[in-house]
Amino acid sequence: MNLLDIVFRKWNNISVEKKVIASWIFSLAVIITVSSILYFSKKEIHQSANLISVNYKLRTETQDILLTIQKLEIISKSFILTGNNKDYAIYFANLDSLDKNLSRLKTLTTNRPSLQKHFLPIENTIRSELYKIIHLPFSLSIEKQLDLKEIKTEDNIYKKLDGYWRLLDAEEELVTLEQFQSLDTKINKDLNYFLLLIVIYIVILSALFLIIISDVRKRRKLAAEVSERRKELKTIIDTAPALIFVKNTGKKFILVNKSFKEFFKVDEEYILQRENRQLIFPADYWLASEEDDAVINQKITLNNIEREIKLADGSTFWLNINKSPLFDDKNNVTGIVGVMDDITKRIEFQNALINSQKNLAELNKQKDKFFSIVAHDLRGPFSGMLGFSGILLEEYSQLTEDEKKNYIEIINSSLKDLLTFIDNLLTWARIQSNRFDHEPKEINLEEIIAQVFQSQKFAAANKQITLESNLPAGQASLQQSLTAFADPGMTETVIRNLVSNAIKFTKTNGKIKVNAYNSGKFVNIQVEDNGIGMSQEIVDNLFNIETKATRNGTNNEKGTGLGLIICKEFIEKNGGIISVKSQVNKGTVISFTLPKNL
């Protein structure tokens, strides 16, 4: 593997952002390099221009000096010939101008050693030859004191300056030519370098551009493939009946499928970047949050969690929940992926099955109890009646009329008890099979109690028991009587059974009271006696069909144990409750409630 392959491999492994940054840095370096070249080229041109400017000033100042010396020569000769004092003033004015020219010229040659070497002797000559005549008196008598040599002093200076001028001119032309040749060569080189750098820069940028374009195309193709796969995955996820979601480490939803949105009745814009607290009740939210923390922090998977949850709208459902951590390529947890199934129907079916099993077991117990009652409680009365009827049949002629009547009364009483038992047994069977019609309506309790007292007056009279009805005062008329909302037949059966039981377990000359009064939204009815009462053990088993709670009355009356069970079923069917309070040898109070008129 060569160096180029290594470079290309590393280049392919870096991100687009880094490639763009690298390209920018390279472009910046190229621009700085080219700008530096242009700057130094401009600087050299500027320096050459300054040199030419200085040379121009040198020539100008030198020319001014020559002109001034020529003026001095002319003025001095004019003065000698004419003796005009005006020439005297003009002469010294030109000397001042010449002094300034010399100073400027000396400054310009400060950084030019070759010119300064020639200039200094000339300056000394000018100052020594011209300035020595400053003190000479300019008058007509001067002409006699001057000789021809002094008059020609300016000519000597002029000849020296003319030589310096030519030297300066030649050096200037030489320097200018050399400078321009060097500058031209430099500019040509710089232009060539600049063009070469531009070409290199364009080639490299083009290569980088092509590489980046190729990389962008690859990434675009990859992004298109990822997008296509994402769409396919989204379609698959949305098609799945399960509730699928993805959360980030902040426990906020970043992806949910169609079934999830439909189940929780939310849209995608609402649920994204939100937590469970917007979907379920607080008690369920905290439990779900603890599970999410366990998945994220402990990197564990939770499977088959069955839980009843309450949604924000108050509805409840059963869900089977599975949660797993979502990892990146460095095995760091980046979120949670969860799958939930609505198992409400399955749980309801399981509960219904369990209830059915319980009901079936209960029916089996009731069936066993039914057959036990039929086998035991029917056999006894029939055996007694068969015995007494056999005596009547076999010994009829030998029996007295009183004995015959006694046996017939015993058989009649047994038949009445048997009929009551059969009625209760059939009623209980109809209740258990849900074949008992329930038609609640407004009922007059005073009328029903009166009907019960009428049907039980003979049984009470036989034991000299007083029946008393205690209803609220001022409710004697039908319009003002105490009313309830219940099934009239069931209510009459309950009161009749309770009064009949009270008569059965109350001694001769006892009293039975039926009390009724309003109690909030209900009517409370009490059947109270002063009979033999019951122990707490009997009270606890009064409404349990599996326990034999029956006993004989004060006159040895028989019971089946079904009467109170039927009463409890009827009262609960009408939305009331029944309760019993009893003390041995003091009496019993059985209370039940019925709802008022709706």
Cβ atoms of 360 and 333 closer than 8 Å: no
Name the nearest CA neighbour of 176 among 164, 184, 188: 184
Overall residue count recorded for the chain in this entry: 598
d(CA 233, CA 230): 5
417-419-423 Cα angle (round to 5)? 115
Share of the chain above pLDDT 90, in %: 8
pLDDT-derived band at 558 (thresholds 50, 70, 90) equals: low
Bigger pLDDT: 88 vs 334: 334
Provide the pairing of β-strand 333-342 with 441-444. unpaired
d(CA 538, CA 548): 9
Which residue is associated with the tokens 């010294």? Answer: 92
pLDDT of residue 463: 85
Region 348-352: mean pLDDT is 87
pLDDT of residue 99: 76
Q: Which of 123-127, 346-350, 550-554 has the highest mean pLDDT?
A: 346-350
Query: What are the Cα distances from residue 481, in Å, to 288, 400, 408, 476?
Result: 57, 53, 43, 6
pLDDT-derived band at 147 (thresholds 50, 70, 90) equals: very low
Helix (H, G, I), strand (E, B) or coil at 561: coil
pLDDT digits (tens, 9 = 90+) for 495-518: 988 888 888 888 888 999 999 988
The DSSP secondary-structure symbol of 1 reads -
d(CA 529, CA 515): 11
Provide the pairing of β-strand 522-529 with 587-595. antiparallel
Return mean pLDDT, the chain. 76
d(CA 493, CA 251): 62
Helix (H, G, I), strand (E, B) or coil at 50: helix
Neighbouring CB atoms inside 10 A of 594's CB total 25
Cβ atoms of 109 and 94 closer than 8 Å: no
pLDDT of residue 140: 37
List own/partner pairs for 387-396 with CB under 8 A and 24 or more apart. none
pLDDT of residue 578: 92
Bigger pLDDT: 161 vs 203: 203
| pLDDT greater than 90 at residue 436 | no
Q: How many CA atoms lie within 13 A of 437 on its CB side?
A: 4
Cβ atoms of 64 and 71 closer than 8 Å: no
| pLDDT greater than 50 at residue 151 | no
Name the nearest CA neighbour of 197 among 308, 13, 35, 402: 35
Cβ atoms of 117 and 166 closer than 8 Å: no
Q: Which residues contact 66 (CB under 8 A, 6 or more apart)?
A: 158, 161, 162, 165
* Tokens, residue 526: 């009490």
pLDDT digits (tens, 9 = 90+) for 303-349: 998 888 888 777 888 889 999 998 988 889 999 999 999 888 888 88
Region 561-574: mean pLDDT is 82
Region 24-52: mean pLDDT is 69
pLDDT-derived band at 289 (thresholds 50, 70, 90) equals: confident
* Tokens, residue 74: 């002319």
Cβ atoms of 481 and 526 closer than 8 Å: no
Name the nearest CA neighbour of 592 among 581, 570, 576: 576
Q: Which domains does the chain carry?
A: 3-207 (1.20.120.1730), 241-342 (3.30.450.20), 350-436 (1.10.287.130), 439-598 (3.30.565.10)
* Tokens, residue 524: 């409370």
pLDDT of residue 325: 92
Least confidently predicted of 14-23, 41-50, 63-72: 41-50
pLDDT of residue 144: 37
Task: Measure CA 278 to chain center.
Answer: 9
Name the nearest CA neighbour of 504 among 560, 553, 567: 553
d(CA 356, CA 352): 6
pLDDT of residue 46: 61
Cβ atoms of 377 and 421 closer than 8 Å: yes
Region 175-190: mean pLDDT is 61
d(CA 503, CA 137): 180
| pLDDT greater than 80 at residue 281 | no
**pTM, to two decimals:** 0.41
341 φ, ψ to 5°?
Answer: -120, 135
pLDDT of residue 322: 92
d(CA 442, CA 89): 152
* Tokens, residue 281: 């009740």
| pLDDT greater than 60 at residue 383 | yes
| pLDDT greater than 50 at residue 136 | no
Cβ atoms of 257 and 337 closer than 8 Å: no
3-class secondary structure per residue, 276-339: HHHCECHHHHHHHHHHHHHHHHHCCCEEEEEEEEEECCCCEEEEEEEEEEEECCCCCEEEEEEE
pLDDT digits (tens, 9 = 90+) for 391-434: 888 888 888 888 888 888 778 777 776 776 677 667 766 666 66
Share of the chain above pLDDT 70, in %: 69
pLDDT of residue 479: 43
Helix (H, G, I), strand (E, B) or coil at 476: coil
Bigger pLDDT: 24 vs 490: 490
d(CA 483, CA 49): 127
DSSP per residue, 81-96: HH--HHHHHHHHHHHH
Partnered with residue 581 across adjacent β-strands are 589
pLDDT-derived band at 593 (thresholds 50, 70, 90) equals: very high
Region 191-206: mean pLDDT is 71
d(CA 354, CA 357): 5
Provide the pairing of β-strand 511-519 with 466-470. parallel
d(CA 61, CA 67): 10
pLDDT-derived band at 478 (thresholds 50, 70, 90) equals: very low
475-477-482 Cα angle (round to 5)? 45
Cβ atoms of 249 and 335 closer than 8 Å: yes
Beta strands per DSSP E along 316-421? 316-327, 333-342
pLDDT digits (tens, 9 = 90+) for 528-544: 999 888 888 888 888 77
Partnered with residue 469 across adjacent β-strands are 514
pLDDT of residue 148: 38
